Amino acid sequence: MNDIAYFDCFSGCSGDMMLGSLLDIGLDIDTLREGLERLNINGYNLSAKKVKRSSITATKFDVTIDSHAHHHHRSLTHILNLIENSQLSDRVKKQSSTIFKRLGKVEAAIHGVPIDEVHFHEIGAVDSIIDIVGTVFGLEYLKVKSCYSSSITVGSGSVATAHGRLSVPAPATLQLLTEVSAPINTNSEFNQPKGELITPTGAALVTSLATFGRPQMNIKKVGYGAGSKDFEGWPNVFRIWFGEQASSGQDEELKLLETNIDDMSPEIYGYLMDLLFAEKAVDVWFTPIQMKKNRPAIMLSVLFPASVESKLTEIIMRETSTLGIRVREVSRHVAQREIIEINSTLGRASAKVKRYAGDIIAIYPEYDDCRQIAAKQNIPFHEVYRVIVDEAHQYLAQHNS
């Protein structure tokens, strides 16, 4: 099975929080040190310790810069050369370079300068290079094949930067989120603290590595990475779920109830279907059949997990005219499915992605989203559907590369 990671960004994300969460689920700090020694960077020390953020215990990762070492701002070209000339794996080099290229492009656009003239400030410092390369290295070490992410809580208020005090989210952060149409968590259920909850480095990591949506997975470990701030009554932590992708093609043991009905009003069938689905039937369908004396009839079929057999049987007996129900065990192969959200050229839409043996087999746009776009923009439904499918494929290709 493929190992996968789910980024739970309910309190945003930063590079050190993400690395802290990887250390929390099993990445050894000595292994991280050895990996980062492959970069030609000196004058720093790594440390990790357990801390409390509100009521949650989490791992706080820190990079301590040697005060006697000279650390100057680095250009994008310098950083990319540093990564390329390292002894890191090709995958770590490629993903780390992609993240820095996105950061460079965003910084250049915001400050109105050519990308070659961008000199990184906060994100170009030694600790941020370590956060980005270290995270990519850690995910590879833990054998994570795919990453997914929740919606992101960004915070509010303002933050002090090298360019002065800026509104939250900072311009670079907001642009990185905008490029992938990242879903923002606006849940007001919690009394969220004021301040920056997702940094440019955190935004770059999440939006470059993850597909937005919760996957079908078997969770093996959960890790918590602590942020620097300790808000009262708010757990300032980044949570990672680590586990196995639910196997495409896995066998699922179910049962099937069937009964033939030839003397019931058709009006009842819709009501019956709703009741059965409400009690956790996996599927319900009606098949036209011919019974004795050539009577037209309906065969009711209900697929369900064994745990709800008695309740479904009771519903069918009470709500239909049947006198008996057949039951048998069945097995089925299940494709792995996930829901993604994209900001297409026609509008925001959701789509179901079907995978088998790790490969994308098909993409099915959400009907209601396509219908609303078609009606609002006066575009044929089939054209809207085609565009969403094409752009969903492009979105997945970008995030799985």
At residue 159, the pLDDT reads 77
- Please answer whether residues 18 and 205 qualify as being in contact, where contact means their C-beta atoms are separated by less than 8 angstroms: yes
Task: Measure CA 319 to chain center.
Answer: 42
User: What local confidence, expressed as pLDDT, does residue 50 receive?
Assistant: 97
Q: How far is CA 10 from CA 77, 270, 345, 346, in A?
A: 34, 40, 28, 29
CB 233 within 8 A of CB 308: no
pLDDT tens readout for residues 209-252: 998 888 878 899 999 999 999 988 899 999 999 998 765 445 56
Alpha helices in 229-296 (DSSP H): 267-278
Helix/strand/coil for 30: helix
Residue segments in the chain with a per-residue pLDDT below the cut of 50: 1, 122-123, 248-249
β-pair partners for 10: 12
CB 13 within 8 A of CB 7: yes
- The answer for 88, left when phi > 0, alpha when psi is -120 to 50, beta otherwise, is beta
C-alpha distances in Å from residue 115, one per residue of 118, 181, 302: 5, 23, 60
Asked whether the beta carbons of 297 and 291 are under 8 A apart, the reply is yes
- Count of residues making up the chain: 401
Domains of the chain as residue ranges with CATH: 3-245 (no CATH), 250-334 (3.30.70.1380), 336-400 (3.10.20.300)
> Can you name the residues that pair with 390 across neighbouring β-strands?
none
- Tens of pLDDT, residue by residue over 179-191, are 888 888 865 555 6
From 391, 382, 8, select the one nearest 222 (Cα to Cα).
8
Residue spans of alpha helices (H) in 52-199: 76-84, 90-111, 126-141, 171-179
Q: CA-CA distance, 259 to 315, in Å (whole number)?
A: 13
What is the distance between the alpha carbons of residues 219 and 285, in angstroms, rounded to a whole number? 33
> pTM of the predicted model, to two decimals?
0.64
- Provide φ and ψ at 63, rounded to 5°: -115, 120
CA distance 130 to 138: 11
pLDDT of residue 1: 45
